[in-house]
Amino acid sequence: MLHEMGYETVIEGIENQHAMQTVSDIGCQGVQGFYLSKPLSVSQLADKAMDIQKN
Look at residue 12 in the predicted model and tell me its pLDDT: 93
The reported pLDDT for the residue numbered 17 is 96
- Which region, left, alpha or beta, applies to residue 2 given φ > 0 means left and ψ of -120 to 50 means alpha? alpha
pLDDT of amino acid 44 = 95
Task: Read off the pLDDT of residues 34-49 as tens digits, 9 standing for 90 and up.
Answer: 999 999 999 999 999 9
34-38-41 Cα angle (round to 5): 145
Q: What string of pLDDT tens digits covers the 55 residues of the chain?
A: 667 788 888 899 999 999 999 998 988 879 999 999 999 999 999 999 999 899 7
